[in-house]
């Protein structure tokens, strides 16, 4: 392992909630980098997945699906002051676990904000109230009347999470490369002003997964390189994006939020049926799914500049995801089944024969047009670096580890989002596991060739309008 590997002392217990592909992948990293013995780790999960792996490491495994009725009874005996509640579940309320961790004096981290089972699809809720925007507002509202206290890190996987740190490094790189002299910003206002000064109009979290399997997808099967349940739940939510001040064309199927800052909008259609144009260095231009993610909202919020109580600058931000080819086929089949889940699920791991997960941030509109900065991690390197991981999962598990390290080293920060952290420490923890960290400028725009062939529906004056980015 790299000489830069992190070693962090920790005297408490760690409780996993959920033990799918990400839980199984992060466990060996925790044992490698955080000073905790296997005897002080307990896994609480709804399924037997990962039981053999847990036993191999000597970790306690509790099969107990958590609900609103029983989660306190199950978790309270396992948590006390100075312990760590690591939430890697689906269908378990993040808000409930944050409250419980706070009451018990325990640290907390999740990789996304989840409702109780069925919350994403409750027919009694409006589209707005099923959004990540609403879930984020509810989580941040827990700060009221609670300054500081045990650190609870919200949404710190690869994305959301690591990508917020990549943006800050990318902004400093662009400033240096375009001759903009600037001291490293010290606060939210400083980072937002830097993005405004550089002319950043659009921020894509642009990801292309090219991993392939020796076993092709079969009919009636959903195949993915990470949690199938997690991908299907977020892909079935309404598409969401941070809405920038440069935008001139509001989507016909778009909706604005009735509470909060209004930094984001939603579309009245699932994210897995909404495609956008984007770019990464190896893949080049491609169409990705506009899957809702918390970072699309938090990034737009964080990089907002206000003047005299009026928003004068905000970038458009969203996820643009092309999963592995078998997952794309799975999404097409899911949509054709009217969003009813296939009977079989398979997460690719040992049967992957090759490919790369290219995950980074694409910052557009500045003096050098567009700049992608991120991780290019192959399956071969992922396997060399850590057991029980694909290239996709290792990007997530490394960032989960980094968020845990932040919480342990900063134990009284209260509820905190990735955008609010100092970016250097988390990236230093992640970097040995990210393969190549690459920065690349490109002259690509979403108008490439289209202005000549199909100009009628485009805004030719500003390539970075969402109207041009969206695939219709």
Sequence ranges of the chain with CATH classification 3.40.50.720: 8-153
| pLDDT for residue 211 | 98
| pLDDT for residue 1 | 41
| pLDDT for residue 451 | 65
Report domain 162-389+430-471's class. alpha beta
| pLDDT for residue 454 | 66
178-198 pLDDT, tens digit per residue, is 999 999 999 999 999 999 999
Sequence ranges of the chain with CATH classification 3.30.360.30: 162-389+430-471
Cis peptide bond N-terminal to 160, omega within 30: yes
Positive or negative, the CA dihedral 229, 232, 233, 235 is positive
**Architecture category of domain 8-153 in CATH:** 3-Layer(aba) Sandwich (3.40)
Q: Exposed, middle or buried: residue 57 (CB in 10 Å: 0-12, 13-18, 19+)?
A: middle
Among residues 113, 114, 108, 88, which one has the least CA distance to residue 153?
108
Contact predicate 157/22, CB 8 Å = yes
Query: Which segments in the chain show pLDDT lower than 70?
Result: 1-5, 451-455
| pLDDT for residue 5 | 59
Positive or negative, the CA dihedral 298, 304, 310, 313 is negative
């Amino acid at each position: 392992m790299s000489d830069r590997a992190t070693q962090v002392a920790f005297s408490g217990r760690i409780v996993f909630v959920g033990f799918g592909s990400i839980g199984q992948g992060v466990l060996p990293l925790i044992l490698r980098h955080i000073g905790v013995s296997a005897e002080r780790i307990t896994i609480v999960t709804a399924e037997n997945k990962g039981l053999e792996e847990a036993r191999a490491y000597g970790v306690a495994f509790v099969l107990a699906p958590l609900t609103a009725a029983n989660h306190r009874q199950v978790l309270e005996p396992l948590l006390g002051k100075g312990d760590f509640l690591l939430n890697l579940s689906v269908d378990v309320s993040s808000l409930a676990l944050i409250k419980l961790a706070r009451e018990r004096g325990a640290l907390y981290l999740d990789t996304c904000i989840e409702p109780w089972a069925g919350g994403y699809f409750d027919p009694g809720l409006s589209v707005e109230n099923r959004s990540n925007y609403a879930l984020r507002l509810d989580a941040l509202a827990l700060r009221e009347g609670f300054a500081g206290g045990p650190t609870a890190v919200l949404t710190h996987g690869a994305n959301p999470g690591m990508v917020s740190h990549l943006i800050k490094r990318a902004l400093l790189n662009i400033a240096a490369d375009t001759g903009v002299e600037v001291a490293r910003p010290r606060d939210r206002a400083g980072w937002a002003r830097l993005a405004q000064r550089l002319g950043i109009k659009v921020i894509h979290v642009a990801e292309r997964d090219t991993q392939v399997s020796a076993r092709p997808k079969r009919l009636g099967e959903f195949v993915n390189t990470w949690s199938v349940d997690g991908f299907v739940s977020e892909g079935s939510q309404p598409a969401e994006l941070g809405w920038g001040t440069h935008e001139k064309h509001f989507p016909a199927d778009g909706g604005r939020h009735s509470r909060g800052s209004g930094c984001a909008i939603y579309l009245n259609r699932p994210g897995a049926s909404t495609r956008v144009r984007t770019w990464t260095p190896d893949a080049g231009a491609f169409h990705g799914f506009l899957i809702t993610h918390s970072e699309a909202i938090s990034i737009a919020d964080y990089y907002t500049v206000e003047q005299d109580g009026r928003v004068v600058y905000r970038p458009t931000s969203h996820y643009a995801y092309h999963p592995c080819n078998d997952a794309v086929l799975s999404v097409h089949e899911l949509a054709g089944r009217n969003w009813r889940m296939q009977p079989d699920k398979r997460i690719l791991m040992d049967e992957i024969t090759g490919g790369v997960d290219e995950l980074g941030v694409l910052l557009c509109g500045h003096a050098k047009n567009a700049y992608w900065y991120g991780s290019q991690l192959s399956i071969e390197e992922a396997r060399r670096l850590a057991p029980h991981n694909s290239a996709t999962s290792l990007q997530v598990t490394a960032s989960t580890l980094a968020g845990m390290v932040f919480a342990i080293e900063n134990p009284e920060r209260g509820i905190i989002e990735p955008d609010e952290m100092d970016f250097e420490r988390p990236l230093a923890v992640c970097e040995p596991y990210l393969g190549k960290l690459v920065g690349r400028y490109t002259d690509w725009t979403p108008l490439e060739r289209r202005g000549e062939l199909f100009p009628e529906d485009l805004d030719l004056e500003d390539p970075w309008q969402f109207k041009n980015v969206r695939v219709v």
